[in-house]
Amino acid sequence: MSDHLAQMAPMPVHGNTDDPLWRKLWNAYEPVITALRRIPLVTDVELCGGMFGITAQLTDGSHLWISSVEELPLDPTEVEGWHVRRADEDNPTVDDLVYNSTVDGEDSQHGNNVVPLVQAITTFVTERRLAPKLIDVLCVQLDAVTKDHRRVSRLFQGPFDDRDAAVKAYGYATYGLLEDGWRRIHAQGGFDWPLTIWELNGEIVTVYLAHVGQVIA
């Protein structure tokens, strides 16, 4: 399991990442790129043949090509609407119009607004199951208040990318408290999101299953 718990696709790996022009475009279009990486799609800036555009890789080997009326300008404020197509270098029959907010497009009312662009892409790849699957990452968390009123908070067990394993670890953690003489004074959540509060000699401990992020399957 990856240690990276954020809902984010990895950075592209190739020689262009050291190119000043590539870096300038990557930074200029960071709001779009970051939104796509959070879907999560591996996203890149293409400089091929003098054409500037954004690509997002899909799970079936195809990709999205994100441009404007023509290529993307260096300055995002000069974008004249967004044009997004799905294509496949090995299969020319794959040619889907995903979104078109250029002047003659059916989404022209949105212009260069990034929000409806990302929403349209998210809907497209989700409905067709073209985005990588995300797995919830869980941990058993412990929060406590000591006799001298100090707060203690720590990761007790995990992280886990399997819910059954996380629930089992939670069971072991709470059983250990019971064996040590702690008294359970509150319980909620069942097996979905269990949480219990324990007391011993004036100290209070809360043990619960916490959602700490997602990883790409």
Per-residue pLDDT tens digits for 27-51: 999 999 999 999 999 999 998 766 7
Integer CA distances (angstroms), 36 to 58, 100, 125, 186, in order = 11, 17, 11, 42
- Nearest Cα neighbor of 68 from 54, 58, 47, 50 is 54
Is the per-residue pLDDT at 211 higher than 90? no
Going across the sheet that includes 195-200, the strands are 151-160, 134-145, 203-216, 195-200, 183-188
pLDDT at residue number 1: 38
Q: Which residue has the higher pLDDT, 38 or 133?
A: 38
First to last CA, the chain: 9
Strands 203-216 and 183-188, sheet pairing? unpaired
**Token pair in block for residue 105:** 């497009």
The predicted pLDDT at position 84 comes to 98
217: pLDDT strictly greater than 70: no
pLDDT value for 24: 93
Q: Is the pLDDT of residue 4 over 80?
A: no
What is the pLDDT at residue 17?
A: 86
**pLDDT score at 132:** 86
- Residue 56: count other Cβ atoms within 10 Å of its Cβ: 26
Q: What share of the chain is helix, strand, coil (3-state, %, to 5)?
A: 30, 35, 40
pLDDT of residue 130: 94
Residues 6+ apart with CB under 8 A from 100: 81, 82, 83, 84, 106, 107, 108
pTM for the model stands at 0.66
> In this structure, are residues 141 and 208 in contact, taking their beta carbons and an 8 Å threshold?
yes
Average pLDDT rounded to a whole number, residues 105-119: 97
**Does 68 score more than 60 pLDDT?**
yes
CA-to-CA distance for 12 and 21, rounded, in angstroms?
A: 15
Q: What integer is the mean pLDDT of 70-86? A: 94
